[in-house]
Amino acid sequence: MPELPETETIARDLHGAVVGAQIMQVDVLRRDVLRETTVVKLGRLLPGRVVARAWRRAKSIVLSLDTDVHLVVTPRFTGALILGEPGCPDDYACLRMQLADGRELRYTDVRRLGTVTALPAGALAAWSDALGPEPLDADFTPERLAECVRGSSRAVKAVLMDQKRLAGVGNIYANESLWRAGIRPSRRAATLTRVECTALHKELRDVLGAAIEARGTSFRDYRDAFGQRGGYAPQLQAYGRGGKPCARCGATLQSSHDIDGRATVWCRGCQS
């Protein structure tokens, strides 16, 4: 599913492309993606409004309008926000927003597991406050990461993916950062030393930054705001490489679904 690098890429694309654009019409084609809002409410809140900012929080893209309204889109596994020509054929389109300049911003989702929510400022703040810190923020220090994992008996990979403890990190980048830091994903989070937390902090930020620079990771469904694939997949050293040689020590990479039912890849030779 789109994680921090993918949603950050989409948010940056949209901020550069639609800030100042006016929404003229909203067509909801699949109501089941709506959360805490209705077709009628969207039809009342969005038309005539201007996009003031596009930004990311955790794994969601937020379109802040020139009123006290924020459209929060969480793509989950197969969702995408695509900016293009109006009426583009799309069997999986869930919502289409017509812009005054003739373009269309549509939310498309094959499995319809993603969500679209319209929130006033107070509700947006409450939603954001329930999430963990952003790993790329300037004030996210190694000590802050240690606070996120301290006291948990859960696997460190599960803690990294817990959005209430740390925002934006999912399965791909949890696997990658733990491999880079030489930490076994199944280790109890509370057993990490200060040195290990410092190493994990560096590798986590490095891998997220590199993935953003490559515009995210595409395997099947992820596309940026212009419908293009991300380019980070060739740089992956752990995720999706179970059974292949470790790029660091040559041992065979192991794979299982024992942690939260998600694919975990690690090296028995150099992750401890």
**Which positions are catalytic?**
2-3, 59, 262
Closest CA to 113 of 77, 80, 162: 77
**Pairing relation of β-strands 23-28 and 93-99?**
antiparallel
**Pairing relation of β-strands 104-109 and 93-99?**
antiparallel
User: Please, which residues bridge with residue 264 across strands?
Assistant: 256
Show the CA angle centred on residue 95, arms to residues 91 and 99, nearest 5°. 115
- One-letter amino acid at 76 equals R
**Pairing relation of β-strands 60-65 and 51-57?**
antiparallel
Four-residue CA torsion sign, 108, 172, 157, 244: positive
Burial per residue of 73-99, b for 16 or more beta-carbon CB atoms within 10 angstroms, e otherwise: bbbbebbbbbbeeeeeeeebbbbbbbb
* Torsion angles phi and psi, residue 253, rounded to 5: -70, 135
Region for residue 263 given its phi and psi (left: phi exceeds 0; alpha: psi -120 to 50; beta: otherwise) = beta
Radius of gyration of the chain (CA): 20
* Torsion angles phi and psi, residue 43, rounded to 5: -65, -25
Please check whether residue 98 is in contact with residue 104, taking contact to mean a CB–CB distance below 8 angstroms: yes
